[in-house]
Structure 1
Amino acid sequence: MELAAIQQALTAEKLDGWLFYDFRQSNPIAYNVLSLSKAELYTRRWFYLVPVRETPTALVSAVESHVLRSLPGTRRVFRTWQEMQAYLKELLRPGMRIAMEYSPLNAIPYMSRVDGGTIDLIRSFGIEVVSSANIAQRFEAQLTGEQVASHREAGQRIIAAKDILFKELGDRLRANQPLDEYSVQQRFLTLLQQAGTVPDIPHVAVNANASNPHYESTAANHSPIQRGDLILFDFWAHLPDPGAIYADYTWMAFAGTSEEIPHQPVEGRQVDDVTRAVIAEVGYADYFIHRTGHNIGTVVHGNGANLDNYETQDDRVLLPNTCCSVEPGIYLPEFGIRSEVNLLVFEHDAEITGVPPQQEITPLL
């Protein structure tokens, strides 16, 4: 348990304390943040209050007075429900803002670990209960430097395993050898293990099976992989070291050549709609006041399809071997911002020029 860090986080969030509560290990966040062993027996309610500055207090049942002994601070042992409530009332002063594993309107179910009745009880003491969601992730989600490195290394290894698998699948397709989801899944699992990672069973899903995000082929239930099929590969693993972080990726493959991949023609106005939707979603639709881009040829504003469903309704298809600008902008009264790259459209793919694209404003000093 990182008491100083918890109290610093409480200060930053302007909270008076963090009240951890659990009944029969129903609150895994409490166990993780407090570094509690889950091997012990927990059959009764317990509370642990970490005030923003004072010493923490544990409130435990007389039936299991041994629990929470690893935590710093004072201990109060209750025998009855009346004693439990009385001790809580002593600890919690009216008007305090206390974090608990609660999410208003159950907006984040991962954080809704304290039952509604317990929330009612704490509020009955004149306490403002706020969600611990933001503060908890400081201790649950932020990685150490070693963990960041473990994620990168795991990622490199499982991508390399994917590359080996894809080459093998290409060889087998060229040789007209039979393939199916389950045999490919098992081969992928072996490659991930041989890469020195600890994988879960990867997902290999063909065509309509890939429409089920959690589809998993089995020895009894799987589909063949044939020429012309679209295949989804979802794979994740971590290094075998304690505290190692997962890498988790999804790749798509086509059982054929790039020339055989079906392509849906794209109109200029469709690109504009997609781009504009991104800006609208964050509330700036009224400040994006021009088309997304224009055709480029021997003159800067060419006569091919523009990326436009705003100033005009350009339903022309983006043809192979054409070039256009992609330049969304947001123009506020105080300032305007625009980013622009160019796009070369080819028969089977596209190329961005003017790379690397700008990711942030460039300081000149």
Structure 2
Amino acid sequence: MLTPEMLPRLQQLLADADLDGWLLYDFRGTNAIASGLLGFDGLVSRRVFALIPREGLPIGIAHAIEPGPWAQWPKAWPLRTYSGWRALESEVASLVQGKRVAMEYSPGDAIPYLDRVPAGVLEMVRAAGATVVCSGDLVSQIYATWTPDQLLSHERAAERIMHIAHGAIAYAGDMVALGTPVAEHELQARILEAFERAGLETHHGPDVAASENAANPHYMPSAASPRLIQRGDTLLIDLWAREKNGGVYADQTWMASMGAPTERVVTVWEAVRDARDAALSLLQSRITAGLPVRGGEADDAARAVIEARGFGPQFWHRTGHSIDSRELHGSGPQIDNLESRDDRLLIPGVGFSIEPGIYLPGELGVRSEVNAYVAEDSLLVTPGDVQRDLIVV
């Protein structure tokens, strides 16, 4: 959240980028970045703006009937109010006329995770005489980076999740051996119970998918259409959670085989594993050498391996997503040069997933997912015990 203590660092970033300010805008939760920085608890029902200038105090613009969301706005910082559209446009113009400001806007929607400001609002701001540029680098540095305590919370969650995943896979194997196979949704419920015991929380999921169901990257099991996990199945478990005190999410995918895997399954698994490792190797080598690296480059490295193995058309999604200090699918740099054109640098303090996959409809899906955090001169990968081979139970 934007605080007086944070302000000097942010204003230095604005100066370094030759910006006059960062103009925040939100309306009914359309811009989670702005509402998070402003410390809003819940949705605002009227349009709000706030200018963080390169010099001086931030200035907020609130609707007269809705002062509540601004409860955490420092009393020393000006807070103007409006009730009609004419007054709002006049206030905005007084803040931005002749200035170069950053907003959550991505030209051509190249980075949709940043493109939070409606076109009409951009027109209003530009008509007021402002030049608007993308706030992507500011978002990476201010909104998406983790604190040391948040990194520790992520590491703790990652270790707990790993053990929960291994326990769930072992249980599925035990049930097969006993002749009483468990259904996907039943194993999902067991994982959620384990989260509760471990002091973890999640907003939905996890994904438990056997063989052909795993070919849908966003599959979710259901009691309405139960699918038993049986001998001969390939099992995908994708699970994500964070500590209940509001820590940073950990997000992992584990692959197992109920009995000896077929040669086909092993071939697909090895392609996915090697693609994951290619992305990690590129990132580690660049970061250790102090060289710049972008998420899209890691996406290209993973994709090249899968294409070389003949499965390129079956890798349908980006290699990874941002995990910021608030959200599982965050607003920081994405590991993506497929779905979007994210050209932001991976800077110290940002975290993300690495999760290449191959999806063969009607047959099987394979994904391997770990998380990574950019330190000053190294790449930290969680969990510490990265899956090398299929877990055979």
Q: Compute the TM-score of the two structures, normalised by the length of structure 2.
A: 0.62
Q: Which residue of 1 aligns with 2:233?
A: 229
- Conserved in 2, the CA contact under 8 Å of 1:254 and 1:261? no
Q: Which residue of 2 aligns with 1:135?
A: 138
Match for residue 211 of structure 1 among 211, 215, 226: 215
Q: Provide the C-alpha distance between the structure 2 equivalents of 1:265 and 1:181, rounded to a whole number of angstroms.
A: 22
Q: Which residue of 1 aligns with 2:287?
A: none
Q: Evaluate the alpha carbon distance shift between residue 254 and residue 119 of structure 1 in structure 2; reply closer, same or farther with a 3 A threshold.
A: same
Match for residue 206 of structure 2 among 178, 202, 206: 202
**Is residue 143 of structure 2 the alignment partner of residue 179 of structure 1?**
no
| Deviation for aligned residue 1:16 | 0.7
Q: Which residue of 2 aligns with 1:247?
A: 250
Q: Which residue of 2 aligns with 1:17?
A: 21
Q: Evaluate the alpha carbon distance shift between residue 10 and residue 169 of structure 1 in structure 2; reply closer, same or farther with a 3 A threshold.
A: same
Q: Evaluate the alpha carbon distance shift between residue 282 and residue 166 of structure 1 in structure 2; reply closer, same or farther with a 3 A threshold.
A: closer
- Conserved in 2, the CA contact under 8 Å of 1:228 and 1:260? no
Q: Evaluate the alpha carbon distance shift between residue 101 and residue 173 of structure 1 in structure 2; reply closer, same or farther with a 3 A threshold.
A: same
Structure 1 regions of 5+ residues with no counterpart?
Answer: 286-291, 293-306, 308-359
- Conserved in 2, the CA contact under 8 Å of 1:15 and 1:99? yes
- Conserved in 2, the CA contact under 8 Å of 1:60 and 1:76? yes
Match for residue 60 of structure 2 among 58, 61, 64: 58
Q: Which residue of 2 aligns with 1:46?
A: 48
Q: Evaluate the alpha carbon distance shift between residue 220 and residue 130 of structure 1 in structure 2; reply closer, same or farther with a 3 A threshold.
A: same
Deviation string for 1:194-246 (max 9, x for gaps)? 333224432111111111111111111121222111111111111122x3111
Structure 2 regions of 5+ residues with no counterpart?
Answer: 283-295, 309-376, 379-393
Q: Which residue of 1 aligns with 2:313?
A: none
C-alpha RMSD of the superposition: 3.3
Q: Which residue of 2 aligns with 1:190?
A: 193
Q: Which residue of 1 aligns with 2:293?
A: none
Q: Evaluate the alpha carbon distance shift between residue 60 and residue 163 of structure 1 in structure 2; reply closer, same or farther with a 3 A threshold.
A: closer
**Is residue 37 of structure 2 the alignment partner of residue 37 of structure 1?**
no
Q: Evaluate the alpha carbon distance shift between residue 183 and residue 61 of structure 1 in structure 2; reply closer, same or farther with a 3 A threshold.
A: closer
Q: Evaluate the alpha carbon distance shift between residue 129 and residue 179 of structure 1 in structure 2; reply closer, same or farther with a 3 A threshold.
A: same
Count of aligned residue pairs for this structure pair: 275
Q: Provide the C-alpha distance between the structure 2 equivalents of 1:142 and 1:18, rounded to a whole number of angstroms.
A: 18
Structure 1 window deviating more from structure 2 (225-234 vs 43-52): it is 43-52
AA paired with 1:133? G
**Is residue 151 of structure 2 the alignment partner of residue 148 of structure 1?**
yes
Q: Provide the C-alpha distance between the structure 1 equivalents of 2:35 and 2:242, rounded to a whole number of angstroms.
A: 22
Q: Evaluate the alpha carbon distance shift between residue 71 and residue 183 of structure 1 in structure 2; reply closer, same or farther with a 3 A threshold.
A: closer
| Deviation for aligned residue 1:259 | 7.5
AA paired with 1:56? P
| Deviation for aligned residue 1:166 | 2.3
Q: Evaluate the alpha carbon distance shift between residue 188 and residue 128 of structure 1 in structure 2; reply closer, same or farther with a 3 A threshold.
A: same
Q: Provide the C-alpha distance between the structure 1 equivalents of 2:71 and 2:243, rounded to a whole number of angstroms.
A: 33
Q: Provide the C-alpha distance between the structure 2 equivalents of 1:34 and 1:265, rounded to a whole number of angstroms.
A: 46
3-state SS, counterpart of residue 70 of structure 2:
coil
Q: Evaluate the alpha carbon distance shift between residue 123 and residue 229 of structure 1 in structure 2; reply closer, same or farther with a 3 A threshold.
A: same
Higher relative contact order (CA 8 A, sep 6+): 2
Deviation string for 1:334-354 (max 9, x for gaps)? xxxxxxxxxxxxxxxxxxxxx
From the CA coordinates, give the structure whose radius of gyration is larger. Answer: 1
Q: Evaluate the alpha carbon distance shift between residue 69 and residue 220 of structure 1 in structure 2; reply closer, same or farther with a 3 A threshold.
A: closer
**Is residue 21 of structure 2 the alignment partner of residue 8 of structure 1?**
no
Q: Which residue of 1 aligns with 2:32?
A: 28
- Conserved in 2, the CA contact under 8 Å of 1:60 and 1:67? no
